[in-house]
Amino acid sequence: MVKLNVLGISYSQTQSGAYALILTEENGERRIPIIVGGFEAQSIAIELEGLKPPRPLTHDLFMNFSKVFGITILEVVIYKLEEGVFYSQLQCDNGSENIVLDARTSDAIALALRFKCPIYTTEEIIAKAGIVLDFDKESSVPPTTQESETIKPPQTNVPSFSSGEFKSYSLEELNEILDEAIGNEDYERASKIRDEINLRKKI
C-alpha cells in the first residue's frame, strides 16, 4: 500500500463550481487530482486551515457521533479506480471488532483529516492516476478523475486562497475580523483572513 497526504485544494478547470483535491504519495512525487464538490472542498479546507466553525459541519458531527459511541476510524483506503471514479473505504474500530464502510473519497478524506488517520491507496491505482507536476501549476492542469457522485455545489461559502484585500489591517484587527467571520460562518472570508495572518507571521 502507498501512503498519501493531502497536498491542497485548487479550483477545477474542468467543472464550474467544483474543486480539485490533490493527494500526494508520502515518499514520492506522484500526485492524484480528484474532482470534489464545493461542500466537501469547504469541509476539507476548513480542517486544513485549522478553522473552528461555531456549529459542527456534517463531517464534524459524524466524528463527534462516532467518538461518543466509541467508534474510531483507523485508516482510509482508496481501493479501486474504475472509469475515472475512485472508490474508498473507512477501516473502523468499535472497540470489539473492525468494520469496513464504503465512502465517497471526498467524505473519506474529510474524515481522515478530522480523525488524523492515515490514507492509503494501491500501487496500481497511483501508477494509473498519479502525475508528477509542480504545485504552482496544478490549478491549470485538468484533473483526470472524479467522484462517483455528481454534486452541484453552491456558489457561496467556498474555499478561497486570496488575501490581498486585508493587507491594510493590523494583525490585531485581522484576528478580530477572523473571529467575526467564523462566528458568522463566512468561511470564504475567514480563509482569506487566515492566509493574510499566516503570511504576516512568516515575515
CA distances from 95 to 73, 100, 128 (A): 11, 14, 36
Residue 92, number of CB atoms within 10 A of its CB: 19
Domains observed in the chain: 2-140 (3.10.690.10), 164-202 (no CATH)
Q: What is the pLDDT of residues 106-161, one digit of tens each?
A: 999 999 999 999 999 999 999 888 887 654 444 434 444 444 433 333 333 333 43
The pTM of this model reads 0.68
Helix-strand-coil split of the chain, %, nearest 5: 40, 25, 35
Please, which pLDDT band fits residue 172 given cuts at 50, 70 and 90?
A: confident
Q: What is the pLDDT of residues 27-74, one digit of tens each?
A: 888 999 898 888 898 899 999 988 888 889 999 999 999 999 999 999
Cell output for 170:
493590523
